Amino acid sequence: METGADLDGFERVLRRGNVSLVSDSMLDAYRRVREHSRKICAPLETEDYVIQSMPDVSPTRWHLAHTTWFFETFCLKNLPDYEPEQPAFEVLFNSYYNSVGEQFPRDRRGLLSRPTVAEVWRYRDQVDEAMFELLARSDRDSIVTDEVLRTGMNHEQQHQELMLTDLLHVFSCNPLHPVYCDDAVTDCDPVEEVRWIESPVERIEPVGFDESSHGLFCFDNELPRHRALLSPHAIANRLVTNGEYLEFIEDGGYDDPSYWLSAGWATVQSEGWRAPMYWHLGEEGWHQFTLAGLRPVDEKAPVCHVSYFEADAFARWSGCRLPTEFEWEIAVRDSRESMIDAFGTRWQWTASDYAPYPKYAAPEGAIGEYNGKFMCGQKVLRGSSVATPEGHARLTYRNFFPPSMRWQFCGIRLATDLE
């Protein structure tokens, strides 16, 4: 079975195994991004690659093939003499690009036994070989732009995080509590008292990606840079912990509709939520399923796998609110050292709807379907998580999900208004 390189520690695989995509040559950056996907797959057995445990989860095999399809579709097919060896893959591994063509239904990806895992790895190898040749060509710029290449590599980094979050959900459905990696849980630093970073006066600040940062990458939803009005407020210097969230549970937080948005309360009732996703209450107290298996809930660790609805309810129970995405951005920009775990621990829900920035325009062509068409009915998360590849996060990055989503590594940072 092909699984790629040996696993060399959870922190190496998840945090140090990737690349900024700026300092490297395009060929080196491409090679390293693709290799990182192999490293993530190193602990897996063949059976682990093929399961789809819910509609939002995709089999690992699909992630590997889809990211490969991206490079084949948007790079290699620009070559006049390129012929795909598997034309049917254009439908099987197209996610949502309507302008490219038909897509196999997302919620049925786990029903396919073919192509096999080995065939998908061969597909990746074939596309990689062709991409290496393309990236080495002296006329490469006339065939595919740096912008498309960087989009493809950042796209694969997004799917590397999804591979881990999806595997966690897949393994959580197994009563054997499989372990992805034994050292996937690390000790937490002592929790300090919450300190509030105050912004006491109304002000207007520039937000969004600075296009004068030549050579750096951003997704189109981070543009254009514009000005945002910030009212007097304060934002917590650290994330909400499991222990603090446990107080909300024990105080009847899931039983009191006064803390919940109407849609959130309806979801709590219909889904039977009583705690964060992956929490289990047994005779020995609360446990949480993790990539390292079932572990006792660490009350010092930042709470994880909560929806926007739960984050908002907890904030109301606390007498606070969630920050807007621009309050978060400016606080991290101006007080980075004070904002504990802004990056690399939990994605942080904001109160902001995922909407276009003023004068936003989606790129032309199929690439324009990447972000813009999802700007409805979702909430913005900021920061990054323990599963986010190093070099992928940035100050202006806008992650987005529906408010009921819980299977990502998402947590809570509080804010409050000032007089």
How far is 348 from 319, CA to CA, in rounded Å?
18
If one counts the domains in the chain, the total is 2
Q: In sequence order, which residues have a C-beta less than 8 Å from that of residue 229 and are 6 or more positions away?
A: 202, 203, 204
- What's the CATH number where 264 sits? 3.90.1580.10
List the alpha helices (DSSP H) in 104-190.
117-135, 146-172
State whether 238 and 356 are in the same domain: yes
State how far the Cα of 238 lies from the Cα of 299, in Å rounded to an integer: 14
Examine the domain organization and report whether 52 and 103 are in the same domain.
yes
Tell me: do 250 and 375 sit in the same domain: yes
Mark which of 156, 172, 188 sits at the end of a domain. 172
380, 328 in Cβ contact below 8 A? no
Enumerate helices (H) and strands (E) in the chain, giving the number of each: 10, 12
Q: How far is CA 357 from the centre of its chain?
A: 21
The burial of 323, by beta-carbon neighbours within 10 Å (0-12 exposed, 13-18 middle, 19 or more buried), is given as: buried
Q: Does residue 168 share a domain with residue 204?
A: no
d(CA 124, CA 68): 6
Q: Which helix (H) or strand (E) holds 207?
A: strand 203-207
Give 167-194 as a DSSP string. HHHHHHT-TT---S-TT---PPPPPPPP
DSSP type of residue 362: P
Q: Is residue 287 part of a domain?
A: yes
301 shares its domain with 388 = yes
131 and 89 co-located in one domain: yes
* Residue 7: partners with Cβ closer than 8 Å, 6 or more residues away: 13, 39, 42, 43, 181
CATH number for position 34:
1.20.120
Tell me how far apart the alpha carbons of residues 323 and 320 are, in angstroms, rounded to a whole number.
9
One domain, residues 50 and 130: yes
Q: Does residue 187 sit within a domain?
A: no
Statement to judge: residues 313 and 393 lie in one domain: yes
Whole-number pLDDT of residue 419: 86
List the domain range (segments joined by +) for residue 45. Answer: 10-172
Domain annotation covers residue 180: no
Residue 137 lies in a domain: yes
Q: Are residues 113 and 246 in the same domain?
A: no
Identify whether residues 145 and 263 lie together within a single domain.
no
pLDDT of residue 191: 81
Cis peptide before 224 (omega within 30 of 0): yes
Looking at residue 366, its pLDDT comes to: 80
> How far, in Å, CA of 318 to CA of 268, rounded?
19
- The C-alpha atoms of residue 92 and residue 88 are separated, in whole angstroms, by 7
- At 198 the three-state DSSP class reads strand
Q: Which residues pair with 197 in a beta bridge?
A: 235
Phi then psi for 295, rounded to 5 degrees? Answer: -130, 150
Is 5 inside any structural domain? Answer: no
Confidence at residue 24, expressed as pLDDT on a 0 to 100 scale: 66
pLDDT of residue 18: 40
Q: String of b and e for 325-334 (b: at least 16 CB within 10 Å)?
A: bbbbbbbbee
Q: Looking at this protein, which amino acid is placed at residue 252?
A: G
Is 170:48 a contact under the CB 8 Å cutoff? yes
Residue 370 counted as domain residue: yes
**273 touches 267 (CB < 8 A):** yes
Q: Are residues 204 and 140 in the same domain?
A: no
177 part of a folded domain: no
Residue 302, classed as helix, strand or coil, is: strand
Divide the 419 residues of the chain into consecutive groups of 10 and give the mean pLDDT of each group: 37 40 78 98 98 98 98 96 93 93 96 97 98 96 95 97 98 97 70 94 97 86 97 98 98 98 98 98 96 96 98 98 98 95 97 97 85 94 96 96 98 97
- DSSP character for 372? G
Contact 158, 299 (CB under 8 A): no
For residue 87, the tally of other CB atoms under 10 A from its CB is: 8
pLDDT at 81: 93
| Full-model pTM | 0.93
**138 lies in the same domain as 223:** no
Note whether 333 and 395 are within 8 A (CB): yes
Report if residue 326 sits inside a domain.
Answer: yes
- Residue 185: exposure state from Cβ atoms within 10 A (0-12, 13-18, ≥19): middle
Query: Would you give the end-to-end CA distance of the chain in angstroms?
Result: 62
